[in-house]
Structure formats: structure tokens, C-alpha cells
């Protein structure tokens, strides 16, 4: 849990860096430089863990077993052997991460409203248990349902101040972003459980960086003078948000179920509000403070174990 809370805090404060970076760079070029630094920051850790990674890969090849996906109803599905390859899994995670981060940036650009965009994107805390139930047949406990509902109300009070109005194209794009982030959480949970977290993080971040560079080249948005103006936001978002936080996400998700992980990581919106107040001089209203309190309540409630009454256990 601590890894995921720290992940949310780093991501939340990185929101300030992303806002500052957008003042002189395009979303794709910012992503390209950011994720490149993130990948480079993990190379020393990869070198330090090279023996463990090599041993783990040798064991995987010698076992010659197909990866298994556990369903919520107790069943297991045998997957193709290539889905057990760390390189393949890293690329899949990277493609989903690239799509989610890029679509989000453009959704915010089209929307023009940080609060509205933040609320809609944060709906991945609802999408994650829903997708887990629909795709993996995983049961959603009552406390997770209640915690998600409380957190959603908190996000609404924190981020939405002027009402929704009519649904726009930007809203649909951001809603799709929430689905992509939920998918990213489930892909890591499904295929990354037995992988080395550093290797998986490096692979997905490198894939995202390569795709971002390709996109920047295609749209002609490479601007090194703009990058120099935003060097500090790039360094923080790259090393901190990409290199450290996405690695902590992989580690945390190996210990926490995806639905609860989504609720914990949704604290990034709370920390982004705190970062805005401390670093950008933004002042929150009473309504926003109530929203922050509800988000905390929802996050804590998601971690409370549910005990089935003895009478119900006897009936079962």
C-alpha cells in the first residue's frame, strides 16, 4: 500500500510539472523527453539486478509453461507462451501507457478545464473494478463499491465547480482515457505479477518514449529551445513520475488487488491539489477541502478487510 500511496504523491506533484511543461512544449514532445529520462534513470538499477533478472529469465525458459490467468470464479485460462515473455509484456504495457498518457494530454488541451478533465480522468477508479469484473470475472467487494462511490463524490467536489453542462468531444476523449488507465492497471496485474518490477517498468517506459518520439517526429513538434525552458519540469516528470513512480506502481500492484490499487492511486488528484496550493499559490475552497476529506475516507475504506458474518458462512 505504501508504494502505491507514494506513487500517487509523486504523480500528483508531477501535475505541476506537466502544467509548466505545456507552456513551451507539445504533449508528445514533453512525453518523449519525460519518458526518455525515466528509462535512463532505471539503467543503473537494471545493471544492479542483472544477475537476478538473468536467473529469473532462465527459470522461465526452462519451465516451458504457458502463462496462466486466474479468474475471479476460481477458473484459470492458459495463455500463449509468448505472453510470458518479459519483452512482449513490457511492450504491451508500454503501448497502453503511451495511449493513456497521450490521449489524456490532448483531452486536457481540448477541454480547457483542468477540473473537468481531472474528474473525468479519475473515473478510472470506477472503470478498474468494472473491467476486472467483466473481463476477469473478479468479485467486487461491498467496501470497494462504497469506497469508490465516496471517492467519486470527493472528486466531484474537489474538481467540478461550475457543473458539467453539455457533453463535449473532449469529455468523450477523457472518458476513454479513464478506460485506458484502468486497462493499464489490469494488464500489469494480469501479466506482470511474476516479472521483475524494474525490468517491466523499464520496458514499458522505453516503449512509451519510443512511441512519443515517433509521434513528435510525425507532427514536427520537436523544440529543443522549449525543452530548455522547461528542463526542471521535464527532469521531475521524467525521473520522478516516470522512472520512480511507475516502478513503484508495478511493485505495489504485485501486493494489492487492482480495484484497491486504483482507489489508492487516485489520491494523485488530492496531491495535485496540494501541489498546486503549495507551488502555484492556488487556494482551495471549503467545497474542495470536503472533497479531499471524502477521497481520504474512500481510500482508507477500500483497505478495510470485509469479514463475512458467521451466520452467512454457515449457510454457504
Least confident piece of the model among 70-79, 102-111, 139-148: 70-79
Q: Can you give the pLDDT at residue 212? A: 94
Categorize the per-residue pLDDT at 96 as very low, low, confident or very high, splitting at 50, 70 and 90: very high
Least confident piece of the model among 79-93, 147-161, 189-203: 147-161
Q: Does position 259 have pLDDT exceeding 50, yes or no?
A: yes
Cα 262 to Cα 116, 144, 221, 228, 306, distances in angstroms: 19, 10, 33, 34, 18
Q: Can you give the pLDDT at residue 315? A: 45
Computed over every residue of the chain, the mean pLDDT equals 77
Of 52, 282, 241, nearest to 159 (Cα)?
282
pTM attached to this predicted model: 0.77
- The CA distance from 248 to 299, in Å, is 18
Task: State mean pLDDT over 176-188.
Answer: 87
Q: Can you give the pLDDT at residue 207? A: 95
Model pLDDT for residues 288-308, shown as the tens digit of each residue: 778 777 877 776 676 565 554
Residue 250 grid coordinates: 508495478
Model pLDDT for residues 16-71, shown as the tens digit of each residue: 776 677 677 888 998 899 899 989 988 988 888 888 888 887 877 777 677 777 67
Least confident piece of the model among 22-26, 128-132, 243-247, 264-268: 264-268
Of 251, 262, 238, 261, nearest to 201 (Cα)?
251
Q: Can you give the pLDDT at residue 314? A: 46
Task: State mean pLDDT over 226-233.
Answer: 82
Categorize the per-residue pLDDT at 118 as very low, low, confident or very high, splitting at 50, 70 and 90: low
- The CA distance from 141 to 304, in Å, is 11
Categorize the per-residue pLDDT at 216 as very low, low, confident or very high, splitting at 50, 70 and 90: very high
Categorize the per-residue pLDDT at 281 as very low, low, confident or very high, splitting at 50, 70 and 90: low
Amino acid at each position: 500500500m505504501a508504494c502505491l500511496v507514494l506513487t500517487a504523491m509523486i504523480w500528483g506533484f508531477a501535475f505541476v510539472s506537466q502544467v509548466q511543461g505545456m507552456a513551451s512544449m507539445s504533449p508528445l514532445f514533453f512525453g518523449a523527453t519525460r519518458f526518455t529520462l525515466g528509462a535512463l534513470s532505471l539503467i543503473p538499477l537494471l545493471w544492479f539486478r542483472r544477475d537476478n533478472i538473468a536467473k529469473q529469465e532462465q527459470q522461465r525458459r526452462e519451465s516451458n509453461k504457458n502463462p496462466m490467468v486466474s479468474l475471479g470464479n476460481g477458473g484459470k485460462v492458459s495463455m500463449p507462451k509468448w505472453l510470458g515473455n518479459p519483452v512482449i509484456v513490457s511492450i504491451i504495457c508500454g503501448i497502453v501507457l503511451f495511449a493513456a498518457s497521450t490521449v489524456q494530454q490532448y483531452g486536457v488541451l481540448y477541454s480547457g478545464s483542468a477540473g473537468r478533465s481531472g474528474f473525468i480522468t479519475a473515473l478510472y477508479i470506477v472503470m478498474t473494478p468494472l473491467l476486472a469484473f467483466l473481463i476477469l470475472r473478479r468479485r467486487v467487494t461491498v467496501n470497494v463499491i462504497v469506497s469508490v462511490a465516496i471517492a467519486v463524490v470527493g472528486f466531484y467536489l474537489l474538481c467540478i465547480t461550475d457543473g458539467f453542462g453539455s457533453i463535449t468531444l473532449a469529455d468523450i476523449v477523457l472518458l476513454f482515457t479513464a478506460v485506458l488507465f484502468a486497462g493499464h492497471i489490469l494488464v500489469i496485474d494480469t501479466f506482470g505479477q511474476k516479472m521483475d518490477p524494474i525490468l517491466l517498468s523499464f520496458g514499458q517506459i522505453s516503449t512509451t518514449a519510443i512511441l512519443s518520439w515517433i509521434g513528435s517526429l510525425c507532427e514536427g513538434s520537436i523544440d529543443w529551445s522549449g525543452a530548455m525552458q522547461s528542463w526542471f519540469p521535464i527532469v521531475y516528470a521524467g525521473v520522478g513520475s516516470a522512472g520512480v513512480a511507475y516502478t513503484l506502481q508495478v511493485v505495489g500492484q504485485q501486493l494489492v488487488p487492482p480495484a484497491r490499487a486504483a482507489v489508492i492511486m487516485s489520491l494523485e488528484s488530492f496531491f495535485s491539489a496540494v501541489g498546486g496550493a503549495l507551488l502555484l499559490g492556488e487556494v482551495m475552497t471549503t467545497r474542495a477541502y470536503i472533497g479531499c476529506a471524502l477521497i481520504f475516507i474512500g481510500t482508507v475504506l477500500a483497505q478495510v478487510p470485509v469479514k463475512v458474518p458467521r451466520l452467512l458462512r454457515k449457510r454457504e
